[in-house]
Structures are given as structure tokens and as C-alpha cells.
Amino acid sequence: MDVFQVHQQLITDYRGFTSGFSQVRDERVRQHVDDRMRSGDQWPDPYLSLNPNFEAGGSIDDLVREDLLHPDCSRVFRISKDEPTGFGGYDLTLHQHQREAIEVARGGASYVLTTGTGSGKSLSYIVPIVDSVLRERAAGTYRPGVKAIIVYPMNALANSQRFELEKFLQRGFGEGEAPVSFARYTGQDRERAAILADPPDILLTNYVMLELVLTRPEEREPLVLAAQDLRFLVLDELHTYRGRQGADVAMLVRRLREACASPSLQVVGTSATMTTEGSESDRRRKVAEVATGLFGVPVAAAHVIGETLRRATTADPADAAAIAECVDRGTPPDAVDAFVADPLAAWVEREFGLAEDAESGLPVRPAHPSTLPRAAKRLAEATARSDDVCRAAIEATLQRGAALLDPRTRRPLFAFRLHQFLSKGDNVYLSLEPEETRYITSRYQTVVPDGSPTGSERILLPAVFCRECGQEYLAVTRISEGGGSRFMSRQDQDVSGGDTISGYLFVSTDVPWPESAESAIIEQRIPESWLVTASDGSVQIAARRRADLPEVLSVDPAGYEVDEGGTSVAYVPSPFRFCLRCRVSYEQPRSNDFAKLASMAAEGRSSATSVITASVVRSLRAQPDLKKEARKLLAFADNRQDASLQSGHFNDFVQVTQLRGALYRALLENPDGLTHEMIEQRVTDALGLSLPDFAKTPDAKYATGRRTWEALRKIVGYRLYLDLERGWRITMPNLEQTGLLKIHYTDLPEIAADESVWVDRHFALRDDDPEHRQELMRLLADELRRVLAIDVDCFDELGFEQLQKLSDQYLEDPWGLGERETRPETGIAFARSGGRGTQRRHLYLSGYGAFGRFLMREKQFPRTEAKLTRDDSQKIIADMLAIMA
């Protein structure tokens, strides 16, 4: 697998995502944002780490011959037992630290593993546990019950360990013949009753669940009774138990020992990141002190087991001339013996995998990880070759080393990893000055670093951007100070209604906000829905909107309101109601400002995770040399709730993109467009699904098969119409919003040109140009469609009920309707009433609404001399609806 190609595609996709849903209008600010993105501030060069090779501690068979392990361990711990039937696998070779752990465990002492990630820490306690159970069986002292409890900080780790135990304890043995039993007992288990009835030898759980076991009577009695004289307690990832949580776990260990009557309980801890300070002996002593306090039993410094590393290569990593020859050669050796003797391979191993301990001189992991560009630069300095050539040589060496297996351990010679940190980025911060002179930065600061020439500070305020036009606003809090007002930085832009001290500052020299409301009306800066027509025919601002108008002020660079000499700004109280430049307005006053204003520090975490996940999975599927079962991605979440949220979001993300992709492909295959009658069939065909992909009965035939396909087509049609709603997915605009889809309406030109249908309609429409009538009808149809005022069967009550029945009977998740999915609230009832019915979904299409105001605008109908009123606009809308129907 070419991991560098996967990484490059990941960065490309994430860059497109973070830059695609927000725009910046101001040229200087846009240049600043573009420069940051090009420099990779949000995705710094990944750290590259090479899993080091460990000193061998002998094979399982060797330890059996030395009587360190029971003979049956040779049957249990073998590699590749899951290969074709009849193959018993390979003998497992242990690392030196694993052998040391087994030796300490045989002596009955508690111990701690402090080896690095990927060092096989789990085998360091699993082997002793299994060996103990096997010896009890052989001696005839075996008693059914729990012999070991392994505690993980996350259920995901317990799940992963369960699969590892399956490889050793189940594969290679017949059904029910496993020598040692195990089970996972966590909050997500459905088989608790079976575990309580027949407790296993090894119990995998988390510390919260273990606490509950000791407090719930229905669980305490069977499990604690089964765990009498408990032999092992393992605490994985010890570094997570600190502070109050560490104290809780320490008390839990003591209570468990008392409840299980286990005075000789062995406690085992593992962690790769306990401490890095001091010498090796200092670190062992510190870890022993911490473990003693946590375990409640003495842990000797000698029983803190670290890793013993060895070099995989044999060449001199400092031979610059030989390394230069390898760089010029371009292709690393493809045989194991030649590769381990390759000078460039030795240099790569030293750069990314091994360093020398200053105290002992032994190989250790590097204290500081390196990046590929940094390593390429060092190699270029040593070999007098270009950075690009050296980078390509390093990548090729790493890839070849990962493909070659060590004949002794059957593990890759170079098992390396890329550690990529992805950031949502920081806000853009601007000083309170005119656009051409203001200070711009993306580093969080409260004031401009160089100060002000006048001696007063110049504050920095976070910028947010209109999602429609990219106009910048400064997020502020307005406070009273010294008898006047002062504006301070505000980080949280998502302010709900009723907060009068939070808002935004609008700074513009080319389109400043007018000083008076009358001027704003004349310049057509006020949204149509904010205006009313007085009895004298004049246009005024609605009384309920006057308190929400922007306030023109003058402020100095420190944020104080001043009488003169400051920067002219318009203060917009939160929540954000309309853009002062493009006039896009929001009729839901308490809605979240995230849907209206974009911040460079808020990309939509769930959407970002879904994009990253999809990118990696898609890249893995494109790797020809990767086995199908290996094309997987493992993702961790902080808790079960986050995992559930993210999995649901990802499922929705995949289905939406899959459906939109099918619609796009169907449109490409039908350049003349798709009509209502054919769109369901063509898009379903473009999905490329087979019956088992969506059917509850995968092998359905005849009428059942036909009905199953019909159900899928109807669901596809329903989802397509539902996706026409504008703006409900901020980070996932639909195809129309991205410019990939255009929607036309049948017969509009003919209807607009047919004078006979307009004779009895409102005089403004009757006397209008056909082209203008067509444009008005298109605008009205667009407004209706974007609030789902669409007359289709799946949106009415009976049609949706039939759709639910089809879905429940024939379709499997995720293609069917969800259990809690309800019929969408649409504007169809209003549309059918001709503009006089109930308003839904904030569909302001009556004479009091935005579209009505648009119709009443002066000179909107050039052929009409009369001034239009509210009643006129309502009649015009009703006439157009009636004719289009």
C-alpha cells in the first residue's frame, strides 16, 4: 500500500472541504487566508515514526522447553492459525520484554510494562494468564470462574482485545474446545445473562462497569462469587488514571481484592507514556512509586519492564558516500538480506526509529519524532543531492521495508506510521480600522503586537463571514464603560435571541451603512420583509423591526465609542438578521448564527470527520495490492455518545453523497434533462445497486422482487425531492447550490407568452412583457420549491403513509425510512391555497412577505403607472399560482 498517496489524497480532500464552504470578500483578508492554507497551517507535516525492532526473547516453544510455560501454550500462541484449513500456523517468537514479563509473573509479583506503542504489551499479560489457567487444569486444581479481569479505559480497546483473543484461544480448536474461555462485559453487551450464568476465565471490561458489578446486587453475587481468589487484575493504559479518576481506580482495586478475597492478587499495568524525565533508573523508580500507590501492593523498580531494542539493519548509517550511491540508485533492494545491508536503509532506521541512550549507549526510541521534509533536508545535506530526490528515496525505502518480512519474526522490517494532525484552523483577527490599513492575523491575540503610534492599544476582534457574499463582520460584546460604550472581542458567535450586548460590527468604506433609516430604504439596503406600506402609500420600516436596525457609530482602535476621529462602523445586534452588503435575510430570529456566518475556526466537526473518513476509505479501496479485508479504518471517539453521533452522521453523509452522485451521473447521461416521470428510474439505475444491497429479502423473485425495486425507486424519488430544500445542510450544499444542477419548469415560456390566459388577471401581469412574466413565475416557483411546496405524492399524508409501508416491508437499512422519520412539513398547503392559506416553514409569500415587497418595488412593472399596494401584490401572487397550477 502506498501510504504517502493515501496521505496526499487526504490532505487534498480536507483542504477542499475547509476552503469550500466559506468565502471571503475582502481581498487582503482573502490573501491572508490563502497564504495560511498554502503554508499548511491546518495540516503541518506529519510526524513519521518507525516501529523499532525488539530484541528476541525466544519462541513460545523455547519457553515451554525451559518450563516457563505450559506445553499447551504451543498450541495456543501461534501465528496465522486463521489461514486455510489444515495449516497450524507458525511458532510465535516473543520479544525480550515479553519474556521478562512472563518470568516476573511466574514469581507471583505485580509488574508494569512501559514499552512503546506496537510492542505487544497485551501478550505480556495474556500469556501468563493463559499459562496459569492451563497449569491449573493440568494439576487438577481448576475451578470454574473468573481467573483474570482486564480493565480497559475504552470499550473500543476491549473490543480490539477480544478479537486478538479469538485468534489465539478459538481458532485452531474445535467448537467448544477452547482451553481458556473469555468474554467482554461492558455496557454495550447483550449477552450479560449468559456471562452471569457461566462466567469465563478471562473477563474484559472497563473500570466503570467493574464499579457497577461491585454495587449491583444482581451482578455482584454471581460475578464476585465466581472471582473468588482472583489471580490477575490488569489495568491497561495506566496513564489515563490520574487525579480524581486515579484515586477512584485505586480504591476500586482495593475493594475488588477484598470482595474477591484475593490477598495474593497480581496486578499488572501497561503504559507507553508514564514518564520521560531523568535516567532509565529514575524513570523505573518513579513508575514503581505510582504503581504501588495505584495497585495497593508493592511494585519493585526491578519489576518495571521496559523495552530492549535492536537494529534491523547492519550497514553503517554514517557512511555518506555509500548512502549517496543508494540515493542515486533510486530503487531499494527487494531481497531481505540485501535490504538489511543497505546503507540508506540503515540511515532511515536511525532517523525515524532508533537513537542512542546517552547513559547506557543502547538503542532507544528517538526522543523527538521527525518529519519527511526535515529528514529529506538532512539527507540532502549529507549526500549533496536535492531535497526532492532524497525525499523520494526515503519514501521508496520505507515502502520497501514495510513490504519485506523479517524471516525470524514474520513482521515487516520497517513498520512505519504517519501521525497527521488536522486542525480546523484559528479565526482571522482584525483591528478596528479601515479595510486598507487594518492589522490581519490568525494567531490568537487581544491587541496588535506592535502597539499604536498614539500610545493606546489596538484591539483585535475575531472575524466571521457572510455565507452568501463573504462580507466580514467582527464578533463583539458591547459593554458600558466610563459613561460610554466599548466593544470587546467575543469568541462565541452562536448567540441565541435576546442577548442585547452581543453582536457584530460592519466596517466598509465602499458601501457604508446609511446614517438614517430613510436613506437605507431609498438605497434599498433593507430586506423586503422588514418594510410595510403606510396608508399614504409611503414605504416604512415595520415597527417590530426598528429595534433591530444597525446602529451607526464611530469607534477608536481600542474599541471605545467616540464622537469623532474614529472608524465609522455599523453595530448589528445578535442574532444576525440580514447581511448589510448582500441583503440576504433570515426570518427565524432565534436560529443559530452558524448557519448564517462562517468562521475560520468552525468547520463542522462531524462533517470534517466524515470527509476525512471517506477520503481514507476511498483511497484504501484504490490500493490494488491491499487485501479486501485490510481496507478498513479504525476510528476512536471519546465516549459512546460521540461514537453514536458520528456513526449516524457518517451513514447520512454516505447516503446523501451516494444519492447526489447518482443524480449527477444520471444528468450526464441525459444532457437534455430529467423530468418528474423519469428521474426516479434513471437515478436508481445510476446507483448501480443489486437486490442484496437494499432488500430485506435478498433473493426475492417475481412480484416480491418487482415490489422491492418499486419501493427503492419511490424512496429515491422522495430523497431527491427532500434534498431540494435550500440551506438545511450548511457544510453539504445541494447540487443546485454548488452549480451542478439547474431546474427548469415545463411550459413557462409558452404560458408567459399566451396572452389569452392573462386577460382576466391583475393588470400589472396583463400588461407585462412575456419575458418578465416568465422571470417572475420562475422566481416564485423557485421560492416554493426551496421550501418544499412541491405537489408530489410522497409529501402528502396518504402518499407518505404508503411509502412507509413499502419501506418497512421491502427495504433494509439504510435505504428504508427511519423508525422515527416523519412526513416533512412543507409549504404545499400554502401554495394550493393561492397565497391565502396558512403560512408554513416561514414561507412569506403574501402581501406582507418578501416576494410581495419585491413585486411592490418601484418600477418593478415598467408598463404600469399605478403604485402597487399590498392587496395588489397578493393578487399578483395568487394569479401566478393559479395559472401555473
Q: Residue 834 has what pLDDT? A: 43
Maximal C-alpha separation, the chain: 109
Residue given cell 436613506 in the structure block: 519
DSSP 371: E
In this structure, the answer to whether residues 304 and 317 fall within a common structural domain is: no
How far CA 375 is from CA of 150, 314, 372, 393, in Å, comes to 40, 20, 5, 11
Secondary structure of the chain: what % helix, strand, coil (to 5)?
A: 45, 15, 45
- 201 occurs within a structural domain: yes
- C-alpha–C-alpha distance, residues 461 and 5, integer Å: 39
Q: How is 614-654 classified by DSSP, letter by letter?
A: HHHHHHHHT-TTS-GGG-------SSHHHHHHHHHHHHHHH
- Looking at the fold, whether 275 and 380 belong to one and the same domain comes out as no
Predicted local distance difference test score (pLDDT) of residue 857: 60
In a domain, 85, yes or no: no
CA distance linking residue 255 with residue 261, whole number of Å: 10
Local structure of 304: helix, strand or coil: strand
- Among 289, 308, 327, identify where a domain stops: 308
The reply to whether 236 falls in a domain is yes
Residues 855, 528 contacting (CB under 8 angstroms): no
Question: How far is the first Cα of the chain from the last one, in angstroms, to the nearest whole number?
Answer: 58
Distance (Å, rounded) from C-alpha 566 to C-alpha 556?
A: 5
Q: Do 230 and 99 belong together in one domain?
A: yes
Residue-number span of the structural domain to which 843 is assigned: 736-790+826-885
- How do strand 304-305 and strand 111-113 relate by DSSP bridges? parallel
DSSP letter (8 states) at residue 476: E
3-state SS class at 776: helix
Q: Specify if 806 maps to a domain.
A: no
According to DSSP, the β-strands at 531-533 and 502-506 are unpaired
Domains contained in the chain, number: 4
DSSP 3-state of 811: strand
Q: Cell 479485508 identifies what position?
A: 629
333 and 408 share one domain: yes
628, with CB counted inside 10 A (0-12, 13-18, 19+), is: exposed
Residue 575 maps to a domain:
yes
Secondary structure class of 269 (helix, strand, coil):
strand
Give residue for cell 463583539: 476
**Joined grid coordinates for residue 373:** 521534509
Among 308, 323, 350, the domain boundary falls at 308
Are residues 298 and 404 both part of a single domain?
no
Residues 843 and 782 placed together within one structural domain of the fold: yes
DSSP for residue 238:
G
pLDDT at 838: 37
User: Which mean pLDDT values do the consecutive 10-residue runs of the chain (885 residues) have?
Assistant: 90 86 87 89 91 90 94 89 61 93 95 88 94 93 93 81 86 82 80 86 92 90 91 91 89 93 92 70 89 92 92 92 94 94 95 84 84 95 95 95 86 90 87 93 87 67 91 93 84 49 92 92 84 78 89 93 91 91 75 81 80 91 85 80 85 90 94 91 95 92 93 94 74 83 91 93 89 89 82 88 94 88 70 41 41 62 71 82 83
Identify the three-state secondary structure at position 529: helix
Q: Helix, strand, or coil here: 266?
A: strand
Contacts (Cβ under 8 Å, ≥6 apart) of 450: none
Residues 414, 433: one domain? no
pLDDT score at 81: 74
Paired sense of beta strands 472-481 and 502-506, if any: antiparallel
Q: Which three-class secondary structure state does DSSP give residue 418?
A: strand
Find out whether 725 and 785 touch, Cβ atoms under 8 Å. Answer: no
**Grid cell 533510486 in the structure block, residue:** 330
Residue 213 sits in a domain whose CATH number is 3.40.50.300
Query: Which whole-number Å values give the CA distances from 755 to 137, 261, 348, 375, 761, in the listed order?
Result: 98, 97, 81, 77, 10
Domain for residue 495, yes or no? yes
- Indicate whether 457 and 389 sit together in one domain: no
Report the relative pairing of strands 232-235 and 148-152 from DSSP bridges: parallel
507 and 579 fall within a common domain: yes
CA-CA-CA-CA torsion for 187, 188, 193, 198, nearest 10 degrees?
A: -80
Phi, psi of 354 (to 5 degrees): -135, 145
d(CA 259, CA 282) in angstroms, rounded, equals: 35
Mark whether 357 and 460 lie in a shared domain: no
Partners of 274 in the β-ladder: none
CB half-sphere exposure, 754, CA atoms < 13 A: 10
> Looking at residue 874, what is its pLDDT?
78
Q: Is residue 802 part of a domain?
A: no
| Domain membership flag for residue 649 | no
What does the pLDDT read at residue 490?
Answer: 85
Asked if 269 and 340 sit in the same domain, the reply is no
Residues 407 and 504 in one domain: no
Nearest to 572 by CA among 501, 522, 471: 501
Q: Which of 572, 598, 624 is the last residue of a domain?
A: 598
What pLDDT is recorded for position 189?
Answer: 61
